[in-house]
Structure 1
Amino acid sequence: MSDTALAAGETATVTITFSEAVTGLTTGDFSVANGALSGLNSSDGGVTWTATLTPSANVTASSNLITLSNPGVQDAAGNTGIGGTLSGNYAVDTAVPTIASVDVPAGVQYNAGDTLTFVVNASEAVVVNGTPRLALDIGGSTVFADYVAGSGTTTLVFQYSLQPGLNDADGITVSGLQNNDGSLRDATGNAMNLTLNNVGETSGVRIDTTTPTATIVLDTTASADGNVRYTLTFSEDVSGVDLSDFTLISTGSAQGNLTGLVQIDARTYQITISNVVGSGSLALALNDTATGINDAAGNALPGGLVGQPYTQSQIQGDPEFRINPSIPLTQPGVGTTVEPIQTSAPPSLFTSPLRPTPLFEVPNLGSGIPPVGNIFMRNGALAPSYIAQVFASSAASLDIGAATEASAIGGSENTFGSTSFSALFDGIAPPAQSDIQLRPGLTVGDSDQNAPQGALTLAQQLQALHEDEWRQVSRLSLAFEQMAEPTSKV
């Protein structure tokens, strides 16, 4: 026999040789195990005969013989053969390996980067050459799980790594097995029947490679009196949401505390900011990384989301000391640079942030401080006394020591010129001499020659005080004691 191990689709040539030429030999004289002979003929006059052995289909048999019944032949003298003749042993394996079943991944959700593993269970051991592949239908797209292991066994392993953009909400489908220019054969060489049988249930093998999204909306109706509330809504069901996933972005002096997280449903949450104080704005922001928020397939929520700012009312007060206007919020990750807040220069150490109006035009400076004019009141009225004339005199002329325009104050009162007192209260340094003297005023062309002309001395004015004016003088004296030696301004 030309081949003693026959597989499906194979044949062998069987040669029969007699001791002399014979006639009458037919295929009916042969008994063939797991096969059949055809094409019996002799090319040398009947000594040597050949035939083709075709094994039976779907047979696996390691021991097989062909038996010749010799009485069916005779030589030229008419002698017939005696008994029978056996061939050598041959093996027949025409059973093609088949796919008994296909194991599929567990019926859960998978996302991008996950690996889907399939196991093809063969009816017999299969030798793999090349890279056969298993075709999959995922959401209308055909992809292929490549062979990774199992040659020489009955279990062949195929795997596919999910790529972004693939989605299948109702389960994948295993379409078929392909040689892909390789081969799948048993030990005899029989090619595997690639028809899929008993494929596992795949309706639960759902693919979701789409990352969830979210929106943060300021709840203006519930934000007041030191509390601010935001509503966070996701595009799909998520898990892993907690307060540590959020931070506050503020401008100015505004600040607050994240104090409340309430889950409304699988997609909606409410976040409360309490103890909101200061001036400026507050905004709820989702952290850029490591939030731990994922959908059911494990897709992580991208961070960097910022909600609408809540503006805290400006604190009323001195305009010179108010916080500068808020800087608009910018969303993280868009490449913009937040400039630092530019504060105004501090007020001068030599000026008051609240400059009062002239001494006698404001009767009360506020904060419980009595008006300085009380020192100079005349009988409790807002009319200047003699001493008040010193301070009320015009300091328009900065040339101390020069005479000023005369003024007639109330017919019976005298006329007073500028003094070093008025210069002191106007911020001008007095003369260097230690004694403060009144400057002489101009003589009024009055017909009364007995009335004092020019500025009276301080002693003369003090002597003219009435008894009820000494209380103001005492206050003036205390004020003088608290005054430091005046120095010239630079």
Structure 2
Amino acid sequence: TDSNNYAIDTQRPTATIVVTNDSLNIGATSLVTITFSEAVTGFDLSDLSVANAVLSNLASNDGGKTWTATLTPTAAITDATNLIVLDAGQVNDTAGNVGTGIAISNNYAIDGERPTATISIANPNLTVGQTTTVTFTFSEKVSGFNLDALSVANGSLSNLVTGDGGKTWTATLTPTANLNDPSNFITLDNRLVNDLSGNAGSGYANSNNYAINTVALTGDPLFRVTDPAPPQGAPNPPLQPIVFGRPTGVLGLPIGFPPLFEQRELGAGLPPVGSIFLRNGALAPSYIAQVFGTDRAGDSSASGFLGLGGGDGGVFGSSTLSSLFNRETHGDDSPLKASDNQSIKGPGDPVQGARGMFGAPSLGQQLQQLKDTEQRQVMDLAHALQQVGISEMQA
């Protein structure tokens, strides 16, 4: 008789994996089908290794021989080479045979990034009759790019072409005529450009600034001549000394005199007193001043002298008799020294010698005034003048 039937299963299960959409862009998913050589048990997602993506919704509708899942790529990743791998050693058929080896899916590409662009203008300063090349460089090759995606300020673009399959594009920029504008841009609307995976760009891309001056000059050129401006901070010219000549003009009173350096001429034909001190040399202008000094005793008494100054001592030089007026008041009996060192008794010296210059009326006029006010001082001065050779004075 025949035995009961028995089944023999000595084959290990194998599998194939197919990714339906092998080019995944932003937001895309794909169906993945895992087909075994026979029904299997114990199969789950932990048996699968997925590159740059995740699988979900694993299920079988035929008892375990065919399984499906959903593949979702990782966001913001671009990778052209990706695989799903099954470790068959983790799967058993219904007879308990363990699978062997590995199963690998077909390749799938992931493009999870949007295209971006930069815009460069070769000549940013455009004048009459000039054009320039504009270069558009994308982060990846794009399709559908045309001039409608561009906004051009005060100009127009033409001859848009690519020489590398869509990653780099060039065009010619022609500025608007008869215009002067220093601030201009070319703007690309990235939303109107797609990469080869279908991802649309986002936002806008702006070029570097370019200036336009296409105002044509008409008529003859205008030449304008202006005086040069003085340099800032120029040093002041050095001061130059003023050399005065011999004074000229009409003399005035000793106190209220006309311009300071006028010629002094003494009345009554008397030569300038400078001849007294220059030992008969060339005559030099000399000056007569009346000086008063207040007594230190505080009793409001005063003393005065006729002073002789000038000669060859310079504009403010002093004469031989200047020592009569350079002494402090020591009292009524202090001796006065003349040029020959002889003492002259007098009522006292004024506090400060006379070195200013005054107008010079006649000697007789000055002596008459002194005689009316201070007789004693006139006598002392007459005595001093006699010592240096003057033998006659009008009193």
- Bin the TM-score by the shorter chain: 0.3 to 0.5
TM-score (norm 1): 0.36
Larger radius of gyration: 2
TM-score (norm 2): 0.44
